[in-house]
Amino acid sequence: MTSVLVSGGTGYAGRFIVEHLLANGYKVTVGGRTAPNPGFFSKDVAFVPLRLDPEADQIEAFDRVYYFVHAAFDHVPGKYRGGEGDDPKGFQRTNLDGTVRLFETARDAGVRRCVFLSSRAAYGPQPSGTVLKEDMPGKPDTLYGEVKLQAERSLLSLCGHGFVTASLRATGIYGPAGPGRQHKWARLFEDYLAGKPIAPRAGTEVHGDDAARAVRLMLESDAARINGETFNVSDSLTGNREILSILQQVTHCPHPLPAAGDMAACNPMGTCKIEALGWKPGGMELLRQTVENLA
């Protein structure tokens, strides 16, 4: 079995990646600050201590690792944009400098491929209705987006024949959060069912399983087609009204739905580039099934 090290494997996005790789025959090691609780994953996984520290020598964590998937990110709980709190310098040192050090360590340890879980925040604000494409210049307006963009560029500078790299700009990942954790819409569902006012919202979403399939695609595609490249990972353009309408149908809740979000003002993400490799997300049907199951 091919050995994969997943940093941040116990995180919200990381868990989807670990489970998907396990289901497809990979030998997975989770790297992080603390080991996963027993039963958190469907199968046993190995664990190695791994942290975002630019001064740390952590090359032993990459021993016998063939692929490295970097999904770890340190932030204020529940926040990515604004996740630096009151320590922007520490946030940048940890998430940018610490990430680059892990990329360099993976390369020096002989890792064959490295996949970075980036974010649509690397694009920054664009004119309303603009389709975000990978060849557009990034103009992030948050420290979170800037860190992701700079990490992408650092990884690109390291790629070569013996160290194949790819970055995935993922949008809002949704789906079940795993044992003992709440999914991303838990508060939204609770507020709606309690009759509290819900603000209109529209945005792009992608199921965690689809994001994980994109990661596996980076590990299995021909190196010449993905090396040094960035790929959008996005699916449905939707909003609170659409999501809650599914919940309403399942629960027969009498509360009114919020107003529709401004879809025309959103920036959908073009996914032709990754779809050309064979990736296809679940669309609105998967979103419907997921909301029904979460409900």
pLDDT digits (tens, 9 = 90+) for 56-69: 999 999 999 999 99
Listed in sequence order, the residues at least 6 apart from 264 whose beta carbon sits closer than 8 Å to its beta carbon are 128, 129
In the chain, % of residues over pLDDT 70: 96
| Cα angle value 228/232/235 (rounded, 5°) | 155
Q: Is residue 180 part of a domain?
A: no
Q: What is the CATH number of the domain that holds 151?
A: 3.40.50.720
Q: What is the pLDDT of residues 251-289, one digit of tens each?
A: 999 999 999 999 999 999 999 999 999 999 999 999 999
Same domain? 131 vs 198: no
> What does the alpha-carbon distance between residue 37 and residue 47 come to, in Å, rounded to a whole number?
11
Same domain? 124 vs 255: no
The arithmetic mean of pLDDT across residues 207-221, rounded, is 98
Q: Is residue 87 part of a domain?
A: yes
Position 129 scores a pLDDT of 87
Q: Is residue 156 part of a domain?
A: yes
Position 74 scores a pLDDT of 87
Least confident of 77-86, 105-114, 199-208, 229-238: 77-86
Same domain? 121 vs 229: yes
The whole domain housing 155 covers 3-175+206-233
Same domain? 246 vs 155: no
Same domain? 29 vs 97: yes
Q: How many domains does the chain have?
A: 2
Same domain? 144 vs 258: no
Angle between helices 98-108 and 143-158 (to 10 degrees): 20
Same domain? 151 vs 200: no
CB atoms within 10 A of CB 22: 17
Q: Is the pLDDT of residue 77 over 70?
A: no
Dmax (CA) of the chain:
59
Rg, Å, the chain Cα set: 19
Q: Is residue 157 part of a domain?
A: yes
Q: Is residue 274 part of a domain?
A: no
Q: Is residue 273 part of a domain?
A: no
> Which conformational region is residue 15 in: left (phi greater than 0), alpha (psi within -120 to 50 degrees), or beta?
alpha
Q: What is the DSSP letter of 130?
A: P
Same domain? 259 vs 122: no
What is this structure's pTM? 0.95
pLDDT band at 82 (very low <50, low <70, confident <90, very high): low
Same domain? 166 vs 141: yes
Q: Is residue 19 part of a domain?
A: yes
Q: Is residue 191 part of a domain?
A: yes
Same domain? 61 vs 153: yes
